[in-house]
Amino acid sequence: VFRPERWLELDGPVDAYKYPVFHAGPRECLGKRLALVEMKALLLRVLRSVRLTLAVPPEEIRPDLQVTLGMSTGLPCHVVHR
Most confident option among 24-38, 51-65, 67-81: 51-65
Please check the confidence at residue 6 and state whether its pLDDT lies above 80.
Answer: no
For 51, half-sphere exposure in the C-beta direction (CA atoms, 13 angstrom radius) is 4
More confident residue, 21 or 77: 77
pLDDT at 20 (0 to 100): 64
Provide the pLDDT for residue 80. Answer: 94
| 41-57 pLDDT, tens digit each | 999 999 999 999 999 99
Alpha helices (H) in 1-82, listed in sequence order: 20-23, 31-49
Q: Calculate the average pLDDT of the chain.
A: 82
